[in-house]
Amino acid sequence: MFSSDLAIDLGTANTLVYAKGRGIVVNEPSIVAINKNNGDVEAVGKEAKEMLGRTPGNIVAIKPMKDGVIADFKVTEKMLTYFIQKAHNRKMLVHPRIVIGVPSEITQVEKRAVMDSAYRAKASEVHLVEQAMVAAIGAGLPITEPSGNMIVDIGGGTTDIAVINEGGVQGTKMFGIGGRAYTHAVERDLSVDFEKAEELKVGLSNNKAPVSQRPAIEAALAKTADVWISGIELALSEFTKLDHLPHRMFLCGGGSSLDLLMDRLEQTEWYKTLPFTRKPSVHHIRPDQVSGIKDTTGDVNDHTFITAMGLLRVGMDTKQFAEDSGSIRDKIDKMLSV
Ligand SMILES: Nc1ncnc2c1ncn2[C@@H]1O[C@H](COP(=O)(O)OP(=O)(O)OP(=O)(O)O)[C@@H](O)[C@H]1O
Ligand SMILES: [Mg+2]
């Protein structure tokens, strides 16, 4: 049966689209190339990224999402429209129902902006769900275990945290440090441009960074990691209604690819001031731990995609309950607390 329903993980760095029954159909950078002379969109996604650096002077590449929120409404709308069309093989006969993942603590105004963009991109129905919560579901973790879990999704602009125990999702928190902050640190300390800094940062995990530069890159990342760790500590200290925190932490999102973060979480005593009953253990979540999602792009292969996968599952599963009363959030809570 053909369905036009879509779930979209509108990320600061990457956007993923899942089409019901078909799996992940779009996985592209959140970039739009605009012609400065007439405002026309020249390219979106991968194509726009390829234009970066080798564009004629009249074309600018815009990243319309910043820190997990829409910084440029018009461009976001154009990007959404393009991805929605792409997901439908450019057939715009149908007006899809769309579920979109947003950071945990965005304001009503920001939520409204995301929804308006999707409606203007021809959606018939739009639902927003929180990224941290869907990352938790994407992880497919046992949620009924008394000990519970914490899911930490480190994206480009934000870190989103969900705490889950036998009572279901106990809450979500976020703070504005993601992978981009690390890239900026490298940019600043090594006096290179953002693109080069990104290359050096990623090069550290895949061994492509020049050996002579590694110490300087590591030093830049280490300083940011200190601030990030404080962010984690502070965010977790805000779960004041819980008498203790779950001692298992699962990392996902592109930003969690830095080994340094895992090392810090394991090797420092950041948790000492928090109500843990024992030292938290830290793990990565991998897509093969997530069931029920098919990937048609062929490159959904690591923890980077967990939020999208969860979103897709939550979004679609939630739609099955569309006739139920109550908010989407209630429904998700209900699903989670089964
Ligand atoms: N191998 C790697 N090493 C280090 N960092 C990486 C690696 N791969 C991706 N990243 C970083 O991950 C970040 C993007 O992660 P992700 O795709 O999860 O973000 P997003 O979902 O688009 O953003 P957000 O959730 O904040 O809106 C970027 O900052 C990127 O530099
Ligand atoms: Mg994300």
Beta strands in the chain (DSSP E): 6-10, 14-19, 23-29, 32-35, 41-44, 59-62, 65-66, 69-70, 97-102, 125-130, 149-154, 159-165, 168-175, 248-252, 281-284
Q: Report the Cα 233 to chain-centroid distance in Å.
A: 20
The residue to which tokens 């949620």 are assigned: 143
Which phi and psi angles does 52 have, rounded to 5°? -55, 135
Q: What is the pLDDT of residue 77?
A: 87
- Domain 6-30+67-134+298-336, architecture per CATH: 2-Layer Sandwich (3.30)
pLDDT at 335 over 50: no
Topology annotation, domain 143-284: Nucleotidyltransferase; domain 5 (3.30.420)
Q: What is the pLDDT of residue 186?
A: 98
Q: What is the pLDDT of residues 254-287, one digit of tens each?
A: 899 999 999 999 999 999 999 999 999 998 876 6
Q: What is the pLDDT of residue 66?
A: 79
Instruction: Establish whether domains 6-30+67-134+298-336 and 143-284 are of one fold.
Output: yes
For residue 106, give the ligand nearest its CA: 1
**Ligand 1 nearest-atom number relative to CA 182:** 29
In sequence order, the β-bridge partners of residue 248 are 281
Q: What is the pLDDT of residue 96?
A: 84
Q: What is the pLDDT of residues 57-92, one digit of tens each?
A: 788 889 888 776 778 888 988 899 899 888 887 665
Beta strands in 182-272 (DSSP E): 248-252
**Ligand 1 nearest-atom number relative to CA 131:** 25
The residue to which tokens 């007439």 are assigned: 38
Which phi and psi angles does 151 have, rounded to 5°? -115, 130
pLDDT band at 138 (very low <50, low <70, confident <90, very high): low
pLDDT at 336 over 50: no
pLDDT at 323 over 50: no
* Cα 293 to averaged position of ligand 1 atoms, centre (Å): 21
Greater confidence (126 vs 299) lies with 126
Give the H/E segment covering residue 182.
helix 179-189
pLDDT band at 101 (very low <50, low <70, confident <90, very high): confident
What distance in Å separates the CA atoms of residue 332 and residue 325, rounded to the nearest whole number? 12
pLDDT at 143 over 50: no
Say yes or no: CB of residue 68 within 6 Å of ligand 1.
yes
**Ligand 1 nearest-atom number relative to CA 10:** 27
* Cα 124 to averaged position of ligand 1 atoms, centre (Å): 30
Name the percent of the chain lying above pLDDT 70: 75
pLDDT band at 93 (very low <50, low <70, confident <90, very high): low
Average pLDDT over residues 40-51: 91
Greater confidence (186 vs 338) lies with 186
Say yes or no: CB of residue 201 within 6 Å of ligand 1.
yes
What distance in Å separates the CA atoms of residue 122 and residue 312, rounded to the nearest whole number? 19
Say yes or no: CB of residue 179 within 6 Å of ligand 1.
yes
What distance in Å separates the CA atoms of residue 217 and residue 204, rounded to the nearest whole number? 8
Q: Report the Cα 198 to chain-centroid distance in Å.
A: 18
Q: What is the pLDDT of residue 55?
A: 63
Q: Measure CA of the first residue to CA of the last residue in the chain; give whole Å.
A: 29
Greater confidence (250 vs 210) lies with 210
Ligand 1 pocket test, pick from 24, 177, 257 with the greatest ligand atom count within 8 Å of Cβ, gives: 257
**Ligand 1 nearest-atom number relative to CA 253:** 18
pLDDT at 213 over 60: yes
Among 88-97, 197-206, 211-220, 248-257, the least confident range: 88-97
Domain ranges of the chain: 6-30+67-134+298-336, 143-284
Which phi and psi angles does 328 have, rounded to 5°? -55, -40
Closest CA to 31 of 58, 11, 56: 11
What distance in Å separates the CA atoms of residue 245 and residue 122, rounded to the nearest whole number? 42
Say yes or no: CB of residue 183 within 6 Å of ligand 1.
yes
pLDDT at 1 over 60: no
Q: How high is the mean pLDDT of the chain?
A: 81
Q: What is the pLDDT of residue 324?
A: 44
Ion ligand 2 residue ranges (Cβ < 5 Å): 11, 155, 307
pLDDT band at 209 (very low <50, low <70, confident <90, very high): very high
* Cα 212 to averaged position of ligand 2 atoms, centre (Å): 32
